[in-house]
Amino acid sequence: MNDTVVILLVKTGLFFANCDGVYDETERKFIENFLSELDNNGCSVSGETRKLAVKALDSSYSFSDIVSETKTYLKEFNKVERRAILDSFSEFIGNVIKADSVVSEQEQQFFSQWRKEFNL
């Protein structure tokens, strides 16, 4: 997994974890564990990327930021690859919003809107 997608996933997870106004500790831990699991599964993350990812956890992003960055990232892939990436992102987002065992209306609405943006 390349550095760009790691940072984008962290930002995306952070947006969805915060979109209901409640950034639950279990959502934060889920995202942090995602980074740790990359290393455990042989997908080493560079030190610089890890620093950027941790810094991203303390920032905020808008829905339009996430959609725009995702669309920019996807430009370098063909249709089949884009679909596989989006399916993975969708699964990650679903796991983030379920991490605290509460899926708020805002989380569900933004997730539906995100899927609509990418024709999922």
Query: What value does the mean pLDDT of the chain take?
Result: 88
Residue 99: what are its φ and ψ, rounded to 5°?
Answer: -60, -35
Q: Sketch the domain layout of the chain as residue ranges.
A: 3-117
Minimal CA–CA distance to 66: which of 2, 1, 7? 7
Report pLDDT digits (tens) over 32-71.
888 888 777 767 677 777 777 777 767 788 999 999 999 9
Structure tokens given for 49:
């990327």
Please tell me the pTM assigned to this model. Answer: 0.87
Confidence of residue 119 (pLDDT cuts 50, 70, 90): very high
As a whole-number percent, the residues of the chain with pLDDT over 90 amount to: 53
The per-residue pLDDT for 42 is 66
The per-residue pLDDT for 47 is 74
